[in-house]
Each structure stands twice: as structure tokens, then as C-alpha cells.
Homo-oligomer: A and B are copies of this chain.
Amino acid sequence: MARGPARQRSRERFEERRWELADIAARVFAERGYHDASISELVKATGLQRGGLYYYISSKQELLVLIHQRFMEPLLKQSYMVLDAGKPPEETMRMLAHVLLGSVDRYRNHVTVFLREWRNIRPAPEWDEIINVRKEYENLILRELQKGNEAGVFFISDEKMTLMSLLGMINYTYQWFDPDGRVSVEDLADQMSSIFLYGITRRDRFEQP
């Protein structure tokens, strides 16, 4: 009976190691570019042997898929936790914005590589799964916008375009935000949530400073 847990632990170690490789690959791809980074460079950065790397992943392309999973899994998990808290739509949206910006900040390399290189995943069989995960996340936010609309808190004429405006505002930080700069991630998330929420909330429902 000991074999079950042992196999389980071995499986977990394997998965953990794959996440580590995703992190290393994200850094290498972000700095060197996906095409310029050779397998040899990846092997060197990971401290593995070439065969060792191929034990965990089957191709460079698979690393791109892993890199996407690496930031989307915790993002979805944390976003569902926010929904589970059952706060009013304004508060929920603010918390979702914090979670998203926190994720772009924490996984900046991963987000950079995905947004720059997703065309290179498209031929992979995993592409459909990636699209589904992204749609799941978008729908989660979309439903919250609809909820706020139906409750008469928000006045949104086009929920999909409003969603994409918010995602743009936050996701684009991968291009410019410096977490060691004057403004902290938390402060920026507050500012962006405020602009966005003042922008979509009925004026009798919010207070301005």
C-alpha cells in the first residue's frame, strides 16, 4: 500500500520540477527571445543535462504551454476565491483587478513571453485548451460585470468591450510597469480599479475623494 503515496509524491516532484523549468524558461525567453534562445542555453540555465530536460518536457513549444499554465492556474484559483467571498460587484471587481495585476507583476516574464510568442503555440494541440482557459477567465469577469449591471450598480452598454478595456489597462503593464519604481503594485491596482470603477458605476453609487 506504500506504493500509492510514494508514486503520488514522485508525481508531485515531477510537476514541481516542470513549474521550475517553466520559470527558468520564461526568464530565458523574456531576455533572449523565444527563437534566439537555444535548447543548449535552456539546458545550461536549468543546470540539467540535455536528456534531463527532455525527461520533463518534450519540446521548446511545450515550454510555452507550461509558461501559460504557470500564471493562469493561480490566477483562476485566486479569482474564484474572490468570487466565493460573495462581496458586492464593485468590491469584487476591485479585488479581481488586484489579483490580475498581482499576477502580471509576479509572472511578468511569463506574461511577456506569452503575449509576445503565443503565435508559436497556435499549431500545438494544446492551443484549444489555452483558448478555453482564457475564455473561462474572461467569462468569470464578464459575469461579475453583468451582475453589477443587473443590480443597477454599473451602467455598461457593452460588457465584452468593457471587459477588454479593463484587461488592456492591467495586462499592458507587462510592457512598462517597474515594481521597484515610485508606485507599488498595490497602489497601481487601486488607481486602476478606481478609474475603471468610477468609469462604469452609476454616480449615485460611488463617492469621489
Contact = CB atoms under 8 A, between A and B. Distances in A.
Interface in A169-203: 169-173, 175-177, 183, 188, 191-192, 194-200, 202-203
A35 interface: yes
A47 interface: no
Interface stretch (A50-58, A59-67, A74-82, A155-163): A155-163
A164 interface: yes
A66 to B, nearest CB: 20
Contacts of A197: 199
A115 interface: yes
Interface of A: 33, 35-36, 115-116, 119-120, 155, 157-158, 161-162, 164-173, 175-177, 183, 188, 191-192, 194-200, 202-203, 208-209
Given A115-B175, A168-B175, A196-B199, 6 more contacts: A33-B35, A33-B119, A35-B36, A168-B170, A168-B172, A195-B200
15 contacts: A157-B191, A158-B191, A161-B188, A161-B192, A165-B169, A167-B172, A168-B168, A168-B170, A168-B172, A168-B173, A196-B199, A197-B199, A198-B199, A199-B199, A203-B208
